[in-house]
Amino acid sequence: MKTKIYNYLNKPYAVVLIMLIAPIFGLIDRNFVFFFGLGVAFLILRGSKFNWAKFGIGMKITWKTVLKSLIISLVLFFVFGIFIDPVLESFLGEYDLSSIEDIRGNLVGYIVLMLIMWLFAAFGEEFLFRGYYMKALAELLGNNNKAWLVSAIITSLYFGVSHVYQGLIGAVSAFLWSFIISLIFIKNRNNLLLLVLIHGIYDSIGITLIFLNMDHGISEWVQQLF
């Protein structure tokens, strides 16, 4: 039975069906969309006898990877903080951060959210969206550079829609951020952990600013550093 399930989920077109089915679970709770996809990805991982390379985790974390992820994270934070988000806010309004507002000044809440973020957002989302969805779609479309680019666009749109709970600006900004990250993955197809670190560091900065109640006017705060 397990072999049959794995063989079915491992078929090239299966990723399309999973991406179409997953949003249905959003009728119950938006988190179910993520956990359904993540559950399928782990079933495939288990069926492959934990062949992590199948999901782009083919390299160990090195100091070079850590340094590279830190630099990219800071660059992305400055670019979005100074240019992208201020422009989006002028057209689409502010982010809806109601889901994490309770961590402001709340040390316990901050620590718990950081742990959840690193496990489910940094690792979980990269494992699902890049390691499974994007990689599987690229292979389905031909596994060439054009296929990877098309897959990056589709996956980023999917990623953006999954962040609509943060408002329209959250969905658009998440799409743009995801697309940049996806381009990095195209150049580092066996180093998904690089993306995990970038995602985790980037989100850690944002969560810390919210905890310190310094997230309002991030662009002005960033500009003061220069």
Residue-wise pLDDT for 130-160, tens only, equals 999 999 999 999 999 999 999 999 999 999 9
In a domain, 73, yes or no: yes
Structural domain including 139 reads: 59-223
Q: Note whether residue 42 is domain-resident.
A: no
3-state secondary structure of 29: coil
pLDDT of residue 12: 86
Q: Which span out of 8-12, 44-48, 177-181, 211-215 was modeled with the highest average pLDDT?
A: 177-181
Distance, CA of 121 to CA of 130 (rounded, Å) = 12
In a domain, residue 143? The reply is yes
- pLDDT above 70 covers a percentage of the chain that reads 94
Cα–Cα distance between 44 and 54 in angstroms, integer? 9
In a domain, 77, yes or no: yes
What's the one-letter identity of residue 26? G
pLDDT digits (tens, 9 = 90+) for 17-26: 999 999 999 9
84 is a domain residue: yes
Least confident of 5-14, 123-132, 204-213: 5-14
Confidence of residue 217 (pLDDT cuts 50, 70, 90): low
Residue 211 within any structural domain of the chain:
yes
In a domain, 110, yes or no: yes
Domain assignment present for 16 = no
Residue range 102-129: mean pLDDT, rounded: 97
User: Are 172 and 159 in contact, with CB atoms under 8 Å apart?
Assistant: no
∠ CA 162-163-168, rounded to 5° = 120
